[in-house]
Amino acid sequence: MSQKIKVATTSLAGCFGCHMSFLDIDERLLELLELIEFDRSPLTDIKHCGPCDLGIIEGGVCNAENVHVLREFRQNCKILVAVGACAINGGLPAQRNHLDLRDVLEEVYQTEPGLTHGGIPNDPELPLPLNKVHPIHEVVKIDYFLPGCPPPADAIWKFVTDLLAGRTPTLGHGLIHYD
């Protein structure tokens, strides 16, 4: 093989649990690193994505910055994978969706004693939250989905190795999980 597969990963509105599960493939990481190299990823601390073969996204879209990062990945990655419950259906952050965002901001920054120091932050450096939290396939086209909260390390391994081998990734019973 002439060249290693370039892989980028990120966590949007997620908890990094999916990344942790990725690391749980343990010593198989070494095997994997024979085949791939990481571009932008929390593992490398590269800040922006270059052209990649594979993008792995954890977490849903809860604010404007998530949209920008997701688009950067879509623009640079040939294949984009939604990993974990939050990327796939909004997950835990989306459980705020039955509340009105205005009420949430008021409750947190204006009403609740102890937090009401400076009112609702309006620093332009801070990304604005979206009215609702959305799964990533509602914002860009996603090629593959790998569910789980987090997906088990074995499922991630199976998925990545299938993909690297040029097979359509297929999980059997016990590897597909939504929880």
- What residue ranges bind another protein (CB under 8 A)? 5, 53-54, 64, 67, 71, 74-76, 78-79, 82, 85, 88-92, 94-95, 97-98, 100-102, 105-106, 120-122, 124, 127-132, 134-135, 137-147, 149, 158-159, 163-164, 166-179
Conformational region of residue 6, where left means phi above 0, alpha means psi within -120 to 50, and beta covers everything else: beta
**Minimum distance of another protein from residue 27's CB (angstroms):** 20
Residues with Cβ within 8 Å of 113's Cβ and at least 6 positions away in sequence, in order, are none
**CA 166 remoteness from chain centre:** 23
**Minimum distance of another protein from residue 7's CB (angstroms):** 10
| CB nearer to another protein: pick between 42 and 107 | 107
| CB nearer to another protein: pick between 41 and 87 | 87
| Three-class DSSP category at 126 | coil
- Reported as half-sphere exposure (CB side, CA atoms, 13 A), residue 56 has a value of 25
**Minimum distance of another protein from residue 176's CB (angstroms):** 5
